[in-house]
């Protein structure tokens, strides 16, 4: 099966969120797709406009419905941010005249239909379950094909090798484990300053309390005992602050995110900051599209050096991710983006079940 066909199959079968949303601290696990219920009504209206291009509410809803109720508010922000980026990328590719022929799209969809038939699934029913019309799906396929064509053109072997050589810890399997505290001040500048100040204040208090704990040790304490005391106090206090103040679902675990690699798990600013830290070092305030973070690395697991040929596809994936970030960074500052208040789906008109 061709790479794109497999990607499209993943999308249509309801796991798109796992691949389209770069995993990041606030993201809860993606459950299996829930088929559209008979009482579900396709949402109407526009969730946002990007340079006059509408993002329909249904595009947000078809991804959002996979999340449990307690995660929907945060998930909606992530989904909408991703869809806005998709629109910016599509507009960029159009401006530089990256196109695909209708026959190319037809070929991919025909392949998908055959693959679905092999597992006894009906193409149109799967589209219906995902609240997708055929035209909407063709548009999604064409957009993905244009992007892959652009990545292939830009990502020459020389460019990929340069990326590999300059980022050894990305591809050798090095992992870090971290806690974080997330605050979500939105776009209000005053609230952003307040959140950043609060996070820096937390960091200062933790460092002061850790220093006091070390100072309280007997004079005979070894360097190892001092370091263990410092690390334990930092970990204890950071976890407590995360439980109290963090807006991330990980707050229940004291902000613990477990081990993650340099690329592909966290958004780039978060991953870059985390991998620059030693165990039991805290970052400064890190801004991402999801809010402001204070990060504490608690462990580091070194990897094993790899040859370029062995990880070339991983390098290509990271190259595509960074290329996407570069395009969005170029397009977003000058874009006219309007986000509208969502309308809840219309209630069912079916009569209540008998008691």
Nearest to 306 by CA among 159, 155, 154, 161: 161
Reported pTM = 0.69
| Domain-embedded: residue 153 | yes
Confidence at residue 77, expressed as pLDDT on a 0 to 100 scale: 84
- CATH number, domain of 215, equals 3.10.50.40
| Domain-embedded: residue 78 | yes
Confidence at residue 169, expressed as pLDDT on a 0 to 100 scale: 80
- Same domain (yes/no): 67, 94: yes
- Same domain (yes/no): 87, 110: yes
CA atoms lying within 13 Å on the CB side of residue 161: 4
Report the C-alpha gap between 109 and 314 in whole angstroms. Answer: 26
| Domain-embedded: residue 350 | no
pLDDT by position in tens, the chain (length 355): 233 334 444 443 333 333 333 333 333 333 344 445 555 788 999 999 999 999 999 999 988 888 888 888 878 888 898 999 999 999 999 999 999 999 999 999 999 999 999 989 999 999 988 889 999 999 999 999 999 999 999 999 999 999 999 888 888 889 999 999 999 998 788 999 999 999 999 999 999 999 999 999 999 999 999 999 999 999 999 999 999 999 998 999 999 999 999 887 888 899 999 999 999 999 999 998 889 999 999 999 999 989 999 999 989 988 998 899 899 999 999 999 999 876 554 444 444 444 4
Indicate the number of domains in the chain. Answer: 2
- Same domain (yes/no): 159, 180: no
- Same domain (yes/no): 320, 256: no
| Domain-embedded: residue 344 | no
| Domain-embedded: residue 307 | no
- Same domain (yes/no): 105, 210: no
Q: Which of 280, 301, 322 is the last residue of a domain?
A: 301
- Same domain (yes/no): 294, 327: no
- Same domain (yes/no): 147, 197: no
| Domain-embedded: residue 168 | no
Confidence at residue 344, expressed as pLDDT on a 0 to 100 scale: 53
Q: What is the domain extent for residue 248?
A: 173-301
| Domain-embedded: residue 285 | yes
Report the C-alpha gap between 134 and 187 in whole angstroms. Answer: 36
């Amino acid at each position: 099966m061709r790479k794109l066909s497999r990607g499209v199959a993943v999308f249509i079968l309801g796991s798109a969120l796992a691949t389209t949303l770069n995993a990041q601290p606030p993201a809860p696990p993606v459950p299996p797709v829930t088929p559209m219920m008979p009482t579900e009504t396709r949402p109407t209206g526009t969730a946002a406009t990007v340079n006059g291009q509408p993002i329909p509410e249904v595009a947000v809803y078809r991804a959002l419905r996979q999340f449990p109720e307690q995660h929907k508010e945060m998930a909606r922000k992530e989904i909408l941010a991703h869809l806005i980026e998709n629109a910016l990328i599509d507009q960029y590719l159009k401006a530089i005249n990256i196109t695909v022929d209708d026959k190319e799209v037809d070929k991919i969809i025909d392949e998908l239909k055959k693959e679905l038939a092999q597992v006894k699934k009906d193409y149109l029913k799967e589209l219906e379950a995902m609240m997708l019309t055929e035209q909407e799906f063709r548009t999604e396929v064409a957009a993905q094909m244009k992007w892959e064509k652009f990545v292939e053109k830009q990502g020459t072997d020389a460019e990929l090798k340069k990326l590999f050589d300059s980022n050894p810890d990305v591809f050798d399997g090095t992992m870090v484990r971290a806690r974080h505290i997330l605050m979500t001040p939105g776009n209000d500048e005053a609230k952003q300053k307040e959140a950043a100040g609060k996070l820096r204040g937390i960091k200062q208090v933790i460092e002061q309390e850790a220093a006091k704990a070390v100072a309280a040790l007997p004079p005979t304490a070894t360097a190892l005992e001092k370091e263990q005391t410092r690390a334990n106090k930092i970990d204890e206090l950071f976890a407590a602050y995360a439980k109290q103040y963090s807006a991330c679902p990980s707050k229940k675990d004291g902000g613990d995110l477990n081990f993650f690699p340099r690329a592909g798990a966290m958004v780039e600013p978060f991953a870059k900051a985390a991998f620059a830290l030693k165990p039991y070092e805290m970052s400064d305030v890190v801004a991402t599209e999801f809010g402001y973070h204070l990060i504490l690395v608690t462990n580091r697991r070194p990897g094993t050096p790899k040859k370029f040929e062995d990880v070339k596809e991983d390098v290509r994936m990271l190259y595509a991710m960074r290329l996407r970030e570069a395009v969005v960074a170029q397009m977003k500052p000058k874009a006219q983006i309007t986000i509208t208040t969502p309308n809840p789906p219309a209630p069912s008109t079916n009569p209540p079940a008998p008691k």
